[in-house]
Amino acid sequence: MPSFPRIFLGLFCLLVAVLLLAPTLVVIPMSFNGNKSLAFPPVGFSWQWYGNFFTNPDWTTSFTNSLFIALIVAVVATIVGTLAAFGVTRAAARTGGLLRALLITPMVVPGVVLAIGIYAVYLDAHLVGTVTGFVLAHTMLAIPFVLIAVQASLEVFDQRLETAASSLGAGRLTVFRTVTLPLILPGILSGALFAFITSFDEIIVALFITSPYLKTLPVQIYSSITRDADPTVAAVGTLLFIATSLIIIAGLLFGMRRGRT
């Protein structure tokens, strides 16, 4: 029989779970609103805001911009971050620790401070509103996530396997390709996913370096919230919520299956 503290704990956790999830769930019914307003409860039912998202060039181009930039960032940050993870893990303890601390600083620097600095540099270098500018800034922001993910799998990785392979005559590249890479691949893939999401979601720097010709999806969402009460923003929120949930559920299931075998 559950004791009184257990019941209390259960109720408390239910409240916290509601606090975590409910605000986002509210967006879903509003995306089907029949009227052009963001009021709750919604009136009527329509798919028009989803239709608007897929046909209105403001939304489609900002979405494809975000997708394109995030894909490049995922590739670049994963390569650069994985190399760095090797460098950090296999360096002398003190150097490695220092290097790691340095490479994860983007996570703690206040976004606005970074944004005004990058904006100042980009104004001089004519990088405002360019894909190169976005990729450079987002790669810097994504490197810490890749580093942490890859480093975690390198730390549980048994280096004796590499020694064994090379003692059997494998060259360094062969060892990396056939032994090291397959074993740390889950870490690299989750790093890549983190990098993609970091770039796809990033807004503060994006708000500063955006131009009318190159907007990302978060910037479009932000300006839609501040300027007009366009319910398309609720439709976008719902789509992002569904995509995020599916990715996480797939990840958890994949992780559980790996754990079992």
Q: Which of residues 140-199 bind other proteins (CB under 8 A)?
A: 140, 143, 147, 158-160, 162-163, 166-167, 172, 175, 197
Rule CB under 8 A: say whether 136 interacts with other proteins: yes
Q: Name which of residues 77 to 106 contact other proteins (CB under 8 A).
A: 79-81, 83-84, 86-88, 90-92, 95-96, 99, 102-103, 105-106
Nearest-angstrom CA–CA distance, 77 and 143 = 6
Would you count residue 248 as binding other proteins (CB under 8 A)?
Answer: yes
Could you say whether residue 244 binds other proteins (CB under 8 A)?
Answer: yes
Structural Rg of the chain based on CA atoms: 23
Q: Write each residue from 7 to 26 as x if it is in contact with other proteins (CB under 8 A), else as -, in one continuous string.
A: --xx-xx--xx-xxx-xx-x
Query: Counting contacts by CB under 8 A, is residue 43 touching other proteins?
Result: no
* Contacting range for other proteins; rule: CB under 8 A; set: 47-55, 67-75, 180-188, 235-243: 235-243
Tokens of 118: 């990058």
Question: CB-hemisphere CA count at 13 Å for 115?
Answer: 12
Residue given tokens 């299956």 in the structure block: 257
Q: Residue 185 or residue 247: which is nearer to other proteins going by CB? A: 247
Nearer Cβ to other proteins, position 24 or 46? 24
d(CA 65, CA 50): 19
For the bound state, the minimum distance from the C-beta of residue 221 to other proteins, rounded and expressed in Å, comes to 5
Task: Report, in Å, the least distance between residue 203 CB and other proteins.
Answer: 6
Cα gap 191→186, rounded to integer Å: 8
Total residues found in the chain within this entry: 261
Interacting residue with other proteins among 7, 131, 249, 250 (CB under 8 A): 249
| Minimum distance of other proteins from residue 212's CB (angstroms) | 15
CA distance 96 to 94: 5
DSSP 11-75: HHHHHHHHHHHHHHHHHHHHTT-SSSS--SS--S--SHHHHHHHH-HHHHHHHHHHHHHHHHHHH
203 binds other proteins (CB under 8 A): yes
Of 61 and 201, the one with the shorter C-beta distance to other proteins is 201
Residue 108 engages other proteins in binding (rule: CB under 8 A): yes
d(CA 147, CA 88): 9
